[in-house]
Structure 1
Amino acid sequence: MPIALGGVFVFLLVSANPLLEKWVSLLNPGNTASHISLGRVLLWAAALSVVWPFIHVRWSGRREMPAYIVTAAALMQTMPSGQSNFFGAATILRLLILFNLLFAVQTILDAVYLWGNAALPTDISYASYAHRGAYPLIVTALLAAGFVLAAMRPGGPADQSPVIRSLVYLWVAQNVLLVISSILLLDLYVQIYLLTWWRVAAFIWMILVALGLVLIVGRIALNRSNAWLIRANLITLTATLYACSLVNFAAVIADYNVSHSREATGKGVAIDMDYLFSLGPQALPAIDRAIAFRGLDPALVSRRGCLVEQQVKDTAFWRSWGFRSWRLRRAMGAQSKSSTAG
């Protein structure tokens, strides 16, 4: 179990961090494996099988066992059958020690390069560091949450151990830091390549994952059931959906992209007009600003007219009236009056 699950987390952390990937590549295991001869391995394995019976001698008499082995054996005997072999307290303890050590490496790297603003190696850019890190780290946090729920089941062998509880709290804290680092990495990427629908959704999803991890700690600390945890997560999800329904994301994305574009700030990437138009009529105020930055392009003005016609068609009937469409119509009317007066 420690080797298998530890390998999964090592794979995710290496895929999320270009620095770790670079260090692993420096080990160059491929060249080392090329020097191994299969024939020699088989020869020495056969020789060992022949020699082993002559060197493996059982000493008579009882040998005194170390105290820690006696304690571990007593712990294994007190466990119910099946738990000591697969997912008992001893296995969970080893897993948590290994996971905390693995995540400590990622936490230290984030503290140095992400929070401490240390210079990255010349062959790794902040854009690649941010793009590679955000999403795999969220998958890592989700797997960690699943492991904690499975390990710290109410009434289980690990639930009664104060040492395991402390290691769980430490590991969840590292996972929360991991999610916060993912949010910062995505923010760095957005500062370079601007906003999209999927990046906004990723921000919201990361916040939900962090809240879910905090609720898991609350469930363990308060000795609540998994049903309580499910209800708390559903309440959090419902509140998030309700809050998101009140936000005009199309207008927010369009305004952010225009305000942080190369045309507006003199640095960064240029405005993606095709993406602005794909956001729909709610992006019209930002589109007008983008057209003003670029100059009167007849093609862009024609596409803007199509969006205006779509807005008029969508609000032609009273049943399609909405607060956002009313605000947009009012803003466009005020803008047309000011341009006419000018």
Structure 2
Amino acid sequence: MLPVSAAVGLLAAFAVPYSRAGLGLVLVAVAMGAAAIPAVRRRITPWSAGMGVVAYGLVAVAMFRDADWLVGLLLLAGFLTAALALSGAGRGWLGVARGGASVILGLLPVPWFLGPQVKGMAVRRRLMPLLIGGGLTIVLVGVFGALFASADAIFAQAVQRVFSAQDWAETVPLRILLFAVFGFVVASAVLVGLRPVVEPKAPDLRVTVSRGLWVTPLTALNLLFATFVGMQLTVLFGSTDWVASATGLTYAEYARSGFFQLVIVSVFVLAIVAVASGAVELRGVDRWLMAGLLGVLCALTMVILFSALHRLDLYAEVYGLSRLRASVEATIWWLGGIFVLVLVAGAVRLIRRGHAGWLPRAVVAMTSVALLAFAVWNPDLRVAETQIAIRGVDRIDLDYLGDLGAEAVPALDRLPEPSRSCVLAAVVRANELDRPDPWNGWNLARRQAREVLERRPVLKAVSCPQTFYGLEDPYRD
């Protein structure tokens, strides 16, 4: 295990630093998986294999997308998904949480895990004197070299030329840190593979309560939701003039005033369903009554989610998409999928009188696939396209577009001059497109953006306003 951890650490120290996320990071992720697979090969299941493939897919996005906010999110999700696959856990919600954090928690016993291997190495008697001698050499040469450099200007200039001519001298500290971090993470992953997580069992907190304690509040909540949904239907099918006359707001202002709150409502409903179905002991008719009330509540919440999505679309029709709006729209679709899974799990649990043990894993799988689909949808490109198409050149917010990732360049290239050169110059600065990526930073989006800019370079002699003009969007972030 020591050579394997050291090999992955060396690869990380060589392939990760001083480049944007790209090929090097993906190669290190592949090496980490290859190092951990032998430890789990005897207990690979369709679940763990599927999660491993999804984890690699999430990490591989770093080679195809450039937007830091998106790549960072998917790298984190890929790491947690890979840890869950290694742990073998996930049959319950506690198992999902414990499995996702298993590699991080495994870092604590890594020194005790590697200690006996280091002590048992046959070459330790020769290795330790060599390491101590090397460290003593570095200290002595450093001290006396510094004294000589301070005593003689010619010697000092020679030393400066040697170290300034070698980039490695400046990168050594970071590379040593990466070597240690990735080596320890690989050792932790192998430790998790050798000692799989025991599926935690949640304590039985179910209590028996009287029917009136939960029937009344759930019924009142359903009536409230039904009233709200009825009003929303009039809005969904009503005209723009009717909404303006009834509220005194424009259609876009009305839309913006509610979709965040409606998303929060759906999250609260999920919490209510979790508490009601997991903490109340029910028998006989009460099981069917609870299932009916919660099922109606979930169905009404799905209509509310559709209303939130409709409001978001109305606002986007006026101001176009932004990164936040694109993320919220994806979240609404994801929440809708969660409610579908919850309804199916409730029906199965009611009919078979058992536990829907597949639900936590189904939620994890759906979430991972949804993140991949969101990356394939290419949000930064969609933001640029809708901003240009909806707002037009005269009202476009070039300041906001200049902060997008390299994947937005093909859309921004269609802008007329001087707007095109003004916004693309900002994109080039933000994404370092004025210089080629090193081999470890290869990225398809940045490569395609540079090809576009080579065919039509950014004009230098253009007059760009100090503050880009645009239609004021009070919630553009």
TM (normalized to structure 1)? 0.64
Tell me which amino acid in the other structure corresponds to 2:243. Answer: L
Which residue matches 2:103?
none
1:42-62 deviation digits (Å, cap 9, x = unpaired): xxxxxxxxxxxxxxxxxxxxx
- The CA distance in 2 between the partners of 1:158 and 1:150, in whole Å, is 17
- The CA distance in 2 between the partners of 1:97 and 1:286, in whole Å, is 51
1:153 is paired with a residue whose SS is helix
Which residue matches 1:311?
433
Aligned-residue offset at 1:127: 1.8
1:92 equivalent to 2:214? Answer: yes
Asked if the contact 2:399–2:423 (Cα under 8 Å) also holds between the matched residues in 1, the reply is no
Structure 1 stretches (4+) deviating beyond 6 angstroms? none
Which residue matches 1:197?
323
Match of 2:312 among 186, 193, 203: 186
Which residue matches 1:60?
none
1:325 equivalent to 2:446? Answer: yes
Aligned-residue offset at 1:302: 5.4
Asked if the contact 1:158–1:164 (Cα under 8 Å) also holds between the matched residues in 2, the reply is no
Which residue matches 2:393?
263
Tell me which amino acid in the other structure corresponds to 1:91. Answer: L
Tell me which amino acid in the other structure corresponds to 2:451. Answer: R
Asked if the contact 2:309–2:329 (Cα under 8 Å) also holds between the matched residues in 1, the reply is yes
1:152 is paired with a residue whose SS is helix
- The CA distance in 1 between the partners of 2:266 and 2:428, in whole Å, is 44
Superposed counterparts of 1:150-169, under 5 Å: 150-153=275-278, 156-157=281-282, 160-169=286-295
1:222 is paired with a residue whose SS is helix
1:29-71 deviation digits (Å, cap 9, x = unpaired): xxxxxxxxxxxxxxxxxxxxxxxxxxxxxxxxxxxxxxxxxxx
> Relative to structure 1, is the Cα distance of residues 144 and 306 closer, same or farther in structure 2, using a 3 angstrom cutoff?
closer
1:138 is paired with a residue whose SS is helix
Which residue matches 2:408?
283
1:207-266 deviation digits (Å, cap 9, x = unpaired): 1111111111111111153643222111111111222233432222112111111338xx
1:1-33 deviation digits (Å, cap 9, x = unpaired): xxxxxxxxxxxxxxxxxxxxxxxxxxxxxxxxx
Aligned-residue offset at 1:188: 0.6
Asked if the contact 2:341–2:359 (Cα under 8 Å) also holds between the matched residues in 1, the reply is yes
Tell me which amino acid in the other structure corresponds to 1:228. Answer: W
Tell me which amino acid in the other structure corresponds to 1:131. Answer: R
Q: 5+ unaligned residues in a row in structure 1: which ranges?
A: 1-80, 265-269, 337-342
Aligned-residue offset at 1:273: 0.4
Which residue matches 1:113?
235
- The CA distance in 2 between the partners of 1:227 and 1:162, in whole Å, is 20
Once the two structures are aligned, what percentage of the paired residues are identical?
22
> Relative to structure 1, is the Cα distance of residues 325 and 121 closer, same or farther in structure 2, using a 3 angstrom cutoff?
closer
Tell me which amino acid in the other structure corresponds to 1:142. Answer: V
Deviates more, 1:135-144 or 1:151-160: 151-160
Deviates more, 1:146-155 or 1:271-280: 146-155
Asked if the contact 2:321–2:383 (Cα under 8 Å) also holds between the matched residues in 1, the reply is yes
Q: 5+ unaligned residues in a row in structure 2: which ranges?
A: 1-205, 458-477
- The CA distance in 1 between the partners of 2:267 and 2:391, in whole Å, is 34
Which residue matches 1:239?
369
Asked if the contact 1:280–1:307 (Cα under 8 Å) also holds between the matched residues in 2, the reply is yes
TM (normalized to structure 2)? 0.47
1:161 is paired with a residue whose SS is helix
2:315 is paired with a residue whose SS is helix
Tell me which amino acid in the other structure corresponds to 1:318. Answer: W
Aligned-residue offset at 1:176: 0.5
Count the aligned residue pairs: 242
- The CA distance in 1 between the partners of 2:317 and 2:440, in whole Å, is 39
Aligned-residue offset at 1:161: 3.0
Deviates more, 1:164-173 or 1:210-219: 164-173
> Relative to structure 1, is the Cα distance of residues 307 and 134 closer, same or farther in structure 2, using a 3 angstrom cutoff?
closer
> Relative to structure 1, is the Cα distance of residues 302 and 169 closer, same or farther in structure 2, using a 3 angstrom cutoff?
closer
Asked if the contact 1:250–1:282 (Cα under 8 Å) also holds between the matched residues in 2, the reply is yes
Tell me which amino acid in the other structure corresponds to 1:240. Answer: A
Which residue matches 1:146?
271
- The CA distance in 1 between the partners of 2:292 and 2:331, in whole Å, is 27
Asked if the contact 2:348–2:356 (Cα under 8 Å) also holds between the matched residues in 1, the reply is no
Aligned-residue offset at 1:101: 0.8
Asked if the contact 1:285–1:332 (Cα under 8 Å) also holds between the matched residues in 2, the reply is no
Aligned-residue offset at 1:150: 1.4
Asked if the contact 1:92–1:158 (Cα under 8 Å) also holds between the matched residues in 2, the reply is no
Tell me which amino acid in the other structure corresponds to 1:95. Answer: P
1:134 equivalent to 2:255? Answer: no
Aligned-residue offset at 1:109: 1.0
* Aligned CA-pair RMSD: 2.6
Aligned-residue offset at 1:335: 4.4
Tell me which amino acid in the other structure corresponds to 1:105. Answer: T
- The CA distance in 1 between the partners of 2:427 and 2:266, in whole Å, is 41
Structure with more contact order per residue of length (Cα contacts < 8 Å, sep ≥ 6): 2
